[in-house]
Structure 1
């Protein structure tokens, strides 16, 4: 029986991400060595992809970045779903920009 999969603090990895990480023992060992917050950032980044093709690209990049020694996704503002801390100013700007795109007006 395989070891239970280590998830993030807020997010749980879906089957496709779990499968990719488990497919390479070195990658999986690096994944296990991440903090729960580090794993959470990668999971949130992968889950944030809007298209399946982008999701697959991010899953592959997660594996590659782990092998490169990265402990967080490159160029990611961070998980906005955490409730244990307020969003950073950069995350707040991203959230405001998303609201403007959806509604056409700032602060909506």
Structure 2
């Protein structure tokens, strides 16, 4: 499966946060488009506070396992 959007690099601080929170396996289990969309969405934030809020949302959604960008998501679907 190829992505339609440009591939987003993983910033060091996000990689560190995923590892520290034990969320890297949950992140890696998501489809490539979701991982790429999360990183692109975070990168578009203009203010540090907005960027942090988006990182927190991504981590909360990964932790819960049922949401993607505030939409219901099921791994099996």
What TM-score, normalized to structure 1?
0.54
Matched, 1:20 2:17: yes
Q: TM-score, normalised by structure 2?
A: 0.73
Unmatched 5+ stretches in structure 2: 1-5, 72-77
4+ long deviations beyond 3 Å: none
Structure showing greater Rg: 1
Task: List gaps (5 residues or longer) in structure 1.
Answer: 1-8, 76-108
Alignment check: 8 A CA contact 1:17 1:59 kept: yes
Tell me the distance in 2 between the aligned counterparts of 1:70 and 1:49. Answer: 24
Question: Which residue, 25, 28, 32 being the options, matches 2:28?
Answer: 32
Instruction: Give the corresponding residue for 2:74.
Output: none
**In the alignment, structure 1 residue 60 sits paired with structure 2 residue 43:** no
How far apart are residue 72 of structure 1 and its match?
A: 2.9
Structure (1 or 2) with the greater strand fraction: 2
Instruction: Return the offset for 1:58.
Output: 0.9
Higher RCO (Cα < 8 Å, 6 or more apart): 2
Counterparts of 1:74 and 1:14 in 2: how far apart (Å)?
22
Kept in 2: contact 1:46–1:55 (CA 8 A) = yes
Partner of residue 42, structure 1: 38
Instruction: Kindly tell me the number of residue pairs found equivalent between the two proteins.
Output: 66
